[in-house]
C-alpha cells in the first residue's frame, strides 16, 4: 500500500505520513488491515530511558494534614465531658500508696516551711526589739539622765550659794535629804562631764544619779565613802574602764577630794562587806590610812546577780575656790 496522505474528510484512505526516524529509532512497517493511527500521535519516551520502579510501600502516601482538602469539611477534635479517664494502672494499690505518700510528703514539707518561716519571723522580731531596746538604753535613757543631771546640778548651785551652819553638813552645806544633791564627781578617764551625786541608794533616789550609801562616810571623811549607780552608760556602766592609778575627784562646797583607783573586784549581790568602813573587813575600825571611796554597780552588763566594785583611796585635798578653776585631776586624764 502506497504511503499517501489520508484525509478525514473523505477520499481514499491512505496511510498517514510517518515521522522521519530519529537517531537510534527504527521504522516498523504497518501491516495491512492494522488499525488506523490517531491523528494526534503520542510521543513515547526514548527506548534508551528507563523509568525507575518503586515498590508500592515507597509510594508517597497522602498525609492527613491539618489543612483539609478543598471539598472536605474540617472536624474539630471532640473534648469529652467530665474528667479525663485515668491512665492504665491508676487504680492499683501501689499507685494509690505512692499518690498518698507524695500527698503526705507535700503536706509535711509545707508544714516545715511554715514552721521555719514562723521561727524566722519570730527571731527577726526579737532582734528588732533587742535593737530598739539597746537604742533606747543608749540614747533615750541617756538623754533623760543628762536632762535630770542638769536640773540636779542647778539645784546644787543654789544649795551652795545659800550655805549652812549645821555641824553635820557636808563642808558647810546643809544636811541633804533623801534624793537631794550634795556633791559632784569627776572621772575624766571615762567621762568628760561631771555627775551630780544625791543622798540615798533607794531606786527612787538613784534613778538619775549615783547615790551615797547612808551608813558610809561623806567625801574626805575617814572610813568608806560608798556610791551606788545604775548599770547604764550615763551612770556607772563605764567604771569597768577605770584602771589602777586613774583619778576620781569629788567636789563639795569647800573642797576637791582627789581619789586614786586601786583595784576592781566582782562580788555576789549579797556581799555587803564592800560598804564596811574598811572594805572587805566588816569588823575592823578605820585607821589613819582608811580614807576609802567605793563605787559599785550591777554586773554583768545585762543582768544584776553580781556587783562590780572599784576601790579608790584619798590621796589629796584641794581647797575649792568658787571663782577658780578645776584641779587638773578633774578634767585631765593624764594628770
Q: Where are the domains of the chain?
A: 150-331
Alpha-carbon distance 291 to 312, whole Å? Answer: 9
Q: What is the CATH number of domain 150-331?
A: 2.40.260.10
Tell me the pLDDT tens digit for each residue of 175-222: 899 999 999 999 999 999 999 999 999 999 999 999 999 999 999 999
Single pTM value for the model: 0.63
* Range name among 29-43, 204-218, 265-279 with the lowest pLDDT average: 29-43
User: 238: pLDDT confidence band, cut at 50, 70 and 90?
Assistant: very high
- How high is the pLDDT of residue 84? 61
Residue 1 has pLDDT above 60, yes or no: no
- How high is the pLDDT of residue 68? 54
- How high is the pLDDT of residue 82? 60
Q: Alpha helices, DSSP H only, in the chain?
A: 93-135, 141-162, 328-331
Q: Cell digits for 321? A: 575656790
- How high is the pLDDT of residue 65? 53
User: 37: pLDDT confidence band, cut at 50, 70 and 90?
Assistant: low
Cis peptide before 241 (omega within 30 of 0): no
- How high is the pLDDT of residue 9? 47
Residue pair 33/26 in contact by the 8 Å Cβ criterion: no
User: Cell 539597746 belongs to which residue?
Assistant: 134
Residue pair 5/14 in contact by the 8 Å Cβ criterion: yes
Mean per-residue pLDDT, 137-149: 86
- How high is the pLDDT of residue 7? 47
Tell me the pLDDT tens digit for each residue of 150-180: 999 999 999 998 866 555 678 988 889 999 9
Mean pLDDT of the chain, nearest integer: 80
- Sign of the CA dihedral running 82, 88, 93, 94: negative
Mean per-residue pLDDT, 225-241: 96
**pLDDT cut 90: percent of the chain above it:** 50
- How high is the pLDDT of residue 61? 56
Amino acid at each position: 500500500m502506497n504511503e499517501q496522505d489520508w484525509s478525514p474528510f473523505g477520499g481514499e484512505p491512505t496511510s498517514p505520513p510517518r515521522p522521519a526516524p530519529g537517531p537510534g529509532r527504527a521504522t516498523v512497517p504497518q501491516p495491512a488491515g492494522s488499525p488506523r493511527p490517531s491523528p494526534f500521535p503520542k510521543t513515547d519516551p526514548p527506548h534508551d530511558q528507563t523509568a525507575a520502579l518503586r515498590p508500592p510501600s515507597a509510594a508517597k502516601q497522602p498525609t492527613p494534614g491539618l489543612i483539609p482538602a478543598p471539598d472536605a469539611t474540617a472536624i474539630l477534635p471532640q473534648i469529652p465531658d467530665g474528667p479525663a479517664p485515668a491512665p492504665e494502672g491508676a487504680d492499683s494499690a501501689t499507685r494509690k500508696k505512692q499518690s498518698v505518700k507524695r500527698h503526705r510528703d507535700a503536706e509535711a514539707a509545707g508544714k516545715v516551711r511554715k514552721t521555719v518561716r514562723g521561727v524566722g519571723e519570730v527571731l527577726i522580731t526579737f532582734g528588732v526589739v533587742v535593737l530598739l531596746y539597746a537604742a533606747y538604753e543608749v540614747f533615750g535613757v541617756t538623754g533623760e539622765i543628762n536632762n535630770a543631771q542638769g536640773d540636779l546640778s542647778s539645784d546644787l548651785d543654789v544649795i551652795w550659794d545659800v550655805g549652812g551652819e549645821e555641824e553635820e553638813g557636808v563642808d558647810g552645806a546643809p544636811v541633804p535629804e533623801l534624793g537631794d544633791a550634795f556633791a559632784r564627781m569627776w572621772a575624766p578617764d571615762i567621762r568628760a562631764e561631771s555627775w551630780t551625786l544625791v543622798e540615798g541608794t533607794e531606786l527612787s533616789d538613784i534613778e538619775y544619779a549615783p547615790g551615797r550609801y547612808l551608813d558610809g562616810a561623806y567625801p574626805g571623811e575617814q572610813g568608806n565613802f560608798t556610791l551606788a549607780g545604775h548599770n547604764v552608760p550615763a551612770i556607772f556602766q563605764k567604771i569597768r574602764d577605770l584602771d589602777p592609778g586613774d583619778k576620781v575627784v569629788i567636789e563639795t562646797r569647800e573642797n576637791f577630794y582627789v581619789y586614786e583607783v586601786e583595784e576592781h573586784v566582782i562580788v555576789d549581790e549579797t556581799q555587803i562587806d564592800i560598804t564596811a568602813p574598811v572594805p572587805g573587813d566588816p569588823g575592823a575600825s578605820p585607821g589613819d590610812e582608811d580614807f576609802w571611796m567605793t563605787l559599785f554597780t550591777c554586773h554583768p552588763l545585762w543582768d544584776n546577780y553580781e556587783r562590780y566594785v572599784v576601790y579608790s583611796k584619798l590621796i589629796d585635798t584641794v581647797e575649792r575656790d568658787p571663782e577658780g578653776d578645776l584641779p587638773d585631776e578633774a578634767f585631765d586624764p593624764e594628770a
